[in-house]
Amino acid sequence: MPRDLPVGNGNLLINHDHNGFLRCIYYPYVGQENHALDHTSHFGLRVNNEFFWLDHEQVEKNLHYVQDSLIAELVFHHERIGLTVTIHDGVDHHDNVFIRKIMISNHSSSPMHVQLFFHLDMNLYGSEMANTVLYHPGLQSLLFYKGHRYVSVSCQKHGQSGSSPDGYACGQKGIHGLEGTWRDAEDGTLQANPIAQGSVDGVMQLNLDIPSGEQRIGHFWVCFAQSLPELEQLESIVRKTEPQVMLDRTQIYWTRWLSRDKHDLSLLPKDLADAYKISLLVVRSNMDNRGAIIAANDSSMLKNAEDTYSYMWPRDGALIAFALDRAGYHDSTQQFFAFCKKAITPDGYLMHKYNPDGSVGASWLPWVDQHGAPQLPIQEDEVALVVYSLWNHHELADTLDESFDDYENFIRPAAEFMIQFRDKNGLPNPSYDLWEERYGIFAFTVATVFAALQAAAKFATYHGEPSRAQQYEEAAKTMRQSVSKYFYDVNKGHFVRALYLSSQSTDTFYIQDNAADASLYALFDFSLFDAQDPRMVQTMTYLRESLWVHTDIGGMARYEGDQYYREFGDDKNIPGNPWFICTLWYAQWLLQCAKSPNDLKEAEELIRWAVSHALPSGIMAEQIHPLTGEPLSVSPLTWSHATLVKVIQDYLTASQRMSSI
**Orientation of helix 412-420 relative to helix 466-486, angle to 10°:** 40
Q: What is the mean pLDDT of residues 473-499?
A: 97
Q: Give the lowest-confidence range in 176-190, 193-207, 330-344.
A: 176-190
Phi, psi of 81, rounded to the nearest 5 degrees: -75, -30
**For the segment 575-605, what is each residue's pLDDT rounded down to a tens digit?**
999 999 999 999 999 999 999 888 899 999 9
Average pLDDT, the chain: 95
Q: Is 530 exposed, middle or buried (0-12, 13-18, 19+ CB in 10 A)?
A: middle
Phi-psi region of 123 (alpha: psi -120 to 50; beta: other; left: phi over 0): beta
Closest CA to 14 of 90, 117, 100: 90
pLDDT of 481 strictly over 90 = yes
**What is the pTM for the complete model shown?**
0.96
517 with 433: CB under 8 angstroms?
Answer: no
Confidence band, pLDDT 50/70/90 cuts, at residue 567: confident
CA end-to-end span of the chain: 47
pLDDT of 132 strictly over 80 = yes
Beta bridge partner(s), residue 84: 77, 105
* CA-CA-CA-CA torsion sign (629, 632, 636, 638): negative
Cα separation of 293 and 287, whole Å?
4
313-517: CATH topology: Glycosyltransferase (1.50.10)
pLDDT of 506 strictly over 60 = no
- Cβ-based neighbour number of residue 415 at 10 Å: 28
Q: What is the mean pLDDT of residues 565-580?
A: 90
Comma-separated ranges of CATH 1.50.10.10 domains in the chain: 313-517
**For the segment 207-240, what is each residue's pLDDT rounded down to a tens digit?**
999 999 999 999 999 999 999 999 999 999 999 9
So what's the pLDDT on residue 661?
64
**For the segment 179-193, what is each residue's pLDDT rounded down to a tens digit?**
889 999 999 899 999
DSSP code string of 273-292 = HHHHHHHHHHHHHTB-TTS-
**For the segment 421-451, what is each residue's pLDDT rounded down to a tens digit?**
999 999 999 999 999 999 999 999 999 999 9
Between 286 and 299, residue with greater pLDDT: 286
Spelled out in words, what is the top-level CATH class assigned to the domain 4-258? Answer: mainly beta
pLDDT of 382 strictly over 90 = yes
Closest CA to 16 of 63, 76, 70: 63
So what's the pLDDT on residue 101?
98
pLDDT of 302 strictly over 70 = no
Helix (H, G, I), strand (E, B) or coil at 524: helix
So what's the pLDDT on residue 212?
97
CA-to-CA separations, 301 to 192, 306, 582, 597, in angstroms, rounded: 35, 7, 21, 42
So what's the pLDDT on residue 304?
54
Confidence band, pLDDT 50/70/90 cuts, at residue 285: very high
Phi, psi of 103, rounded to the nearest 5 degrees: -115, 115
**For the segment 638-655, what is each residue's pLDDT rounded down to a tens digit?**
999 999 999 999 999 999
Q: What is the mean pLDDT of residues 130-159?
A: 96
Closest CA to 310 of 54, 637, 661, 651: 637
Beta bridge partner(s), residue 431: 440
Phi, psi of 68, rounded to the nearest 5 degrees: 60, 40
DSSP code string of 202-228 = EEEEEEEEE-TT-EEEEEEEEEEESSH
Q: Helices H, strands E: what count in the chain?
A: 16, 26
Cα separation of 88 and 73, whole Å?
5
Closest CA to 633 of 564, 572, 583: 564
Confidence band, pLDDT 50/70/90 cuts, at residue 161: confident
Cα separation of 510 and 490, whole Å?
15
Q: Give the lowest-confidence range in 25-39, 257-271, 295-309, 447-461.
A: 295-309
Q: What is the mean pLDDT of residues 360-369?
A: 95
pLDDT of 504 strictly over 80 = no
Comma-separated ranges of CATH 2.70.98.10 domains in the chain: 4-258
- Strands 509-513 vs 623-624: parallel, antiparallel or unpaired: unpaired
610 with 292: CB under 8 angstroms?
Answer: no
